[in-house]
Structure 1
Amino acid sequence: MMSSPRCPARLDASLQPRLSRWLWLVKWLLAIPHFVVLAFLWLAFLVLSVVALVAIVVTGRYPRAAFDFNVGVLRWTWRVAYYAYGGLGTDQYPPFTLAERADDAAHLDVDYPERLSRGLALVKWWLLAIPHYVVVGFFLGGGWYVVSGSDDDRRMGAWGLIQVLVLIAGVALLFTGRYPRGIHDLVVGLNRWVLRVTAYACLMTDQYPPFRLDLGGSEPDPGGALAPEPGRVPSPPPAAPPTAPPSAPRGWGAGRVVAVVAACLALLAALGLIAAGTTALVVDRSARDADGYLTTSAIHLRAPGHALVSEDLEIEGAGAAVELPERLVGDVRVSARLDDGEVFIGIAESDAAAAYLAGVGHSSVTGPVDGEDGPVYDVTAGGPPSVLPEKAGIWRESAAGSRRQQVTFTPREGSWTVVVMRADGAAPVEPSVTAGATLPVLDDLAAGLLVGGLVLLAGGGVALLLALRRP
């Protein structure tokens, strides 16, 4: 029997002899502070993993400070999981630290690799690990989606094998006061498999995870004993060689951890600003029409009455407040067309439009026009208008004709309403409508986002380098 190589990623856990029957019922509440902290730590973990990917491709080495931090995050996660619903194997509250502690019930360590393959770093986390992702999906939950697309089975996908086993152990604790040893060994073995895959996918090792379920609270002895010859008493196995000391993060106090997390959050925010600025710049350069308007696609609306009315556009204030919509929105252009007659489109003060439409059957658009169920209308019953819309004399801007008509409006203080009707005031009204604006602020907004993102990216990068330097 050939000996198995020692796994660089190791996970251990010792089952507490006496566990509370009921404490596991409220551990979801007790662990909330850890969940909040881990949410930020995992954001930093992802950023440092990307940094490590670049470093490995360029130098063939995983930056040691980043490696120690990420191993610490995995260790912290395992301690909390073993305390809560990834194990329920201890009632000892997990410490808030990245470092390894001898008195912990759960232990995790990953050997630091002196050299890593540059080529494997590009493919192992998304391609080579796919078979393991399928297996781990069933362990952690969600793996059912890989083989079933049925909506009736979506709730099943939220439960993984580990969660089911831990729930069974919790029920056993509640009624018997004992944690079944066999379930504990299986739960730890499944978590051990997950750790090995995580370490491989996160570029911490080049050793491919074995398709082997190692049960028990302790890592198996990597040395394998040969089968004894018939009639011969086997000799006792040799003592296990001493293991290397854990790669506990050195100098990772609370201040340094907070600095790393803050720097990573700054980098993520910088990437978001750069992405938003790039999008705004592309839209500003490519989506405008010949007149400089950013215009929506045609929207088909329907009013069973004699008019179609927009929601009121409220512009309040004086001086700078009045100029603000003009600076942000610029000129507004609304166009409409009817397939079976002449269309009228006008913009008037809301009070004047309401007085004109009093007693007239009309529909107001009160919800998003691009929703799944189509536009939302508020229908008001009534008859035809007493005066044709072109002769009403209330319009700030208006147009009428058989082809697509449009009006252009510069926002001013007041309350304004857009009205679309048939030129003869008949019903129903089923226009095709588009709206657009010049948005003069878009160019400055794109430049500001890009500059802010680049400054934040540089500052976050420098802060991260300083935080990762060994004290």
Structure 2
Amino acid sequence: MDHPIRLHVTDDLRRTRLTVAFRIILVIPHAIWLALWGIVVALAAIVSWFATLFAGRTPQGLHDFIAQFLRYSAQVSGYLFFLADPYPGFLGDRPYDADLAIAPPAPQNRWKTGFRIVLVIPALIVAQVLGYLLEVLGIIAWFACLFTGAMPLGLRNLVAWIIRFTAQTHGYALLLTDRYPSFSTDVEA
């Protein structure tokens, strides 16, 4: 059964050495925009929690707003960690080489919603540990892409798995789904 939050990678593994060399600098405007947008999403998530708790489903507008943020976040991560080569847009509203597919709002269990902050803790801990691994892999990928002009397939798949798990964890925390993050290694590539 497919998870409601899936990562699709449609990249050809080639990387432009010039943008690889300066990727950390090129991503700064995205990091700033992501941080500012994240503040608004945190407030929207609180409203969404109350709405989902009482209605049993996240309202469409809140779901779409939070989902667009999560897609954008995954696109920026994909760019930063060499999962994709083109420079991403600033709204997460157009297709990208490393993009999330997020299912529309569905009914959610009110008990799971009520205790979501507690239920998500183990997944957040795992996502944090994987985030540290991702930083190490990012350095390895930087050298690999800089010297070969391509992202090694195995490294790309591991980076994609971590980004997908993290996106599913954040989607669960932000009430986009009540399905727990999957440890499956199936990444659509």
Structure-2-length-normalised TM-score: 0.91
Q: 1:18 aligns with which of 10, 14, 23?
A: 14
1:177 to partner: Cα distance: 2.4
User: How well do the aligned residues superpose, as a CA RMSD in angstroms?
Assistant: 1.7
Q: Which has the larger radius of gyration?
A: 1
SS in structure 1 at match of 2:115: helix
Counterpart of 2:163 in structure 1: which amino acid? Answer: N
Q: Does 1:180 align with 2:152?
A: yes
Structure number with the higher strand fraction is: 1
Partner residue in 1 for 2:59: 63
1:23 to partner: Cα distance: 2.1
Counterpart of 1:183 in structure 2: which amino acid? Answer: L
Q: 1:137 aligns with which of 128, 133, 150?
A: 128
Counterpart of 2:100 in structure 1: which amino acid? Answer: L
Write the distance in 1 (CA, Å) between the matches of 2:13 and 2:54.
Answer: 49
- Structure 1 consecutive aligned stretches of length 4 or more whose deviation exceeds 6 Å: none
Partner residue in 2 for 1:312: none
Q: 1:91 aligns with which of 85, 91, 107?
A: 85
Write the distance in 1 (CA, Å) between the matches of 2:112 and 2:83.
Answer: 36
Write the distance in 2 (CA, Å) between the matches of 1:194 and 1:46.
Answer: 16
Write the distance in 2 (CA, Å) between the matches of 1:66 and 1:80.
Answer: 21
Q: Does 1:127 align with 2:118?
A: yes
Give the structure, 1 or 2, with the largest relative contact order (CA under 8 Å, sep 6 or more). Answer: 2
Partner residue in 2 for 1:197: 169
**What is the aligned length?**
189
Change (3 A) 1:94 1:80: same
Instruction: Say if 2:63 and 2:105, in contact at 8 Å, map to a contact too.
Output: no
Instruction: Say if 1:80 and 1:94, in contact at 8 Å, map to a contact too.
Output: yes
1:216 to partner: Cα distance: 4.2
SS in structure 2 at match of 1:88: coil
Write the distance in 2 (CA, Å) between the matches of 1:17 and 1:134.
Answer: 30
Q: Does 1:114 align with 2:85?
A: no
Write the distance in 2 (CA, Å) between the matches of 1:193 and 1:81.
Answer: 12
Deviations 1:219-246 (A, max 9, x none): xxxxxxxxxxxxxxxxxxxxxxxxxxxx
Q: Does 1:214 align with 2:182?
A: no
Partner residue in 2 for 1:75: 71
Q: Does 1:33 align with 2:29?
A: yes
1:199 to partner: Cα distance: 1.2
1:170 to partner: Cα distance: 1.2
Write the distance in 2 (CA, Å) between the matches of 1:216 and 1:6.
Answer: 11
Change (3 A) 1:20 1:73: same
Counterpart of 2:90 in structure 1: which amino acid? Answer: F
Instruction: Say if 2:48 and 2:58, in contact at 8 Å, map to a contact too.
Output: yes
1:74 to partner: Cα distance: 0.8
Write the distance in 2 (CA, Å) between the matches of 1:215 and 1:170.
Answer: 24
SS in structure 1 at match of 2:37: helix
Q: Does 1:164 align with 2:155?
A: no
Partner residue in 1 for 2:43: 47
Instruction: Say if 1:10 and 1:192, in contact at 8 Å, map to a contact too.
Output: yes
Structure number with the higher helix fraction is: 2
% of aligned pairs identical? 30
1:129 to partner: Cα distance: 2.0
Counterpart of 2:74 in structure 1: which amino acid? Answer: W
Counterpart of 1:71 in structure 2: which amino acid? Answer: A
1:128 to partner: Cα distance: 1.5
1:176 to partner: Cα distance: 2.4
Write the distance in 1 (CA, Å) between the matches of 2:144 and 2:188.
Answer: 19
Counterpart of 2:112 in structure 1: which amino acid? Answer: L
